[in-house]
Amino acid sequence: MGTSASSMGPGAGVSLDPEWLDDIELPNQDNASLNDYNNDSGENDNQFDEKKLDGNKIPDIAPKFRFASARRGMGEYVRSGSKDSLRKSLGHYSKIGMGGARNLSKRMRTSTKVATNFFRTFQALRDNKDFALGKILLELQGRGANANEIIDTIIDNVCPSGGSLDEITCRDSGRFALSEFMNQNPSADINKLTDDQIWSLTGAFLGNEAYSRVQLDIGQSFEKQNVSAAERVNRMNEMKEYLQSEISTQLNKLRNSGSQTIGMEKLFRTAIKNTFEVYEVEV
């Protein structure tokens, strides 16, 4: 999966946290088995106080040259393949370009909401014999539907269907995660995934979403470097795998610490926040 880097990305003078994100609707949210993440607020959990960032008010408007340092670092990474340059670029991207890791995780709330829907859907497929999507998938499998039909049906039931870039990338990330999983686990029953498989699948989705977010904002750095098309693709794939690996690491830490009690969407936001805080240390 790749996200086009032809856009110049967001510039200065725009909101760091566009309000229209809250208007994005996910499918099947009237289903009780998927709706619990709407109650994930956690009255005593202030780690996602949306009015504060490191003790200060979250900046409303993006500053000038917000991605300048991130783009320079990304350009160096594309030219040299240096992981140090990649880490520094991602650190600048988060700390300066997005107003900090916590603000970045909030900006990616469409991704974390879909990740929660993703996670809960596969739990319901396994645990709820009356789950509507399960019956649909069984009917498709009974008539010999191919993998693409199965994937498209799941995506339609999990991801938003609007035309915004955030919605489009969610559908792309979901398709990639499912396709990769099915290729690597050809004998797995998609209706009866284990907890480990569900966590892995959701981690792959979130990793792709982080990669897509960076690509949308500063991906033009890949196009401007004087390297071959093959090298450019290799660098993009390396960055995607790098982000996937770090986010999966952070998810596993949270899972093993019992942090599911804070609610799944908040847990996924925490994983993104923790991932980019690691990179911010580099700058």
**8 Å CB contact between 248 and 203:** yes
Structure confidence at residue 35 (pLDDT): 45
Residue 237 lies in a domain: yes
Give me the domain span that covers residue 135. Answer: 109-275
pLDDT band at 9 (very low <50, low <70, confident <90, very high): low
Residue 70 lies in a domain: no
Residue 50 lies in a domain: no
Residue 16 lies in a domain: no
pLDDT tens by residue, 13-67 = 566 667 767 778 888 654 434 444 344 434 333 344 444 434 445 446 767 788 9
Residue 143 pLDDT > 80: yes
Buried b (16+ CB within 10 A) or exposed e, 92-117: bbbbbbbbbbbbbbbbbbbbbbbbbb
Domain count of the chain? 1
- The helix, strand and coil proportions of the chain, stated in percent and rounded to the nearest 5, come to 65, 0, 35
> In this structure, what token pair is assigned to residue 55?
């003790």
pTM of the model: 0.84
Crossing angle between the packed helical segments 83-92 and 229-256, to the nearest 10 degrees:
70
pLDDT tens by residue, 108-118 = 999 999 999 99
Residue 126 lies in a domain: yes
Residue 151 lies in a domain: yes
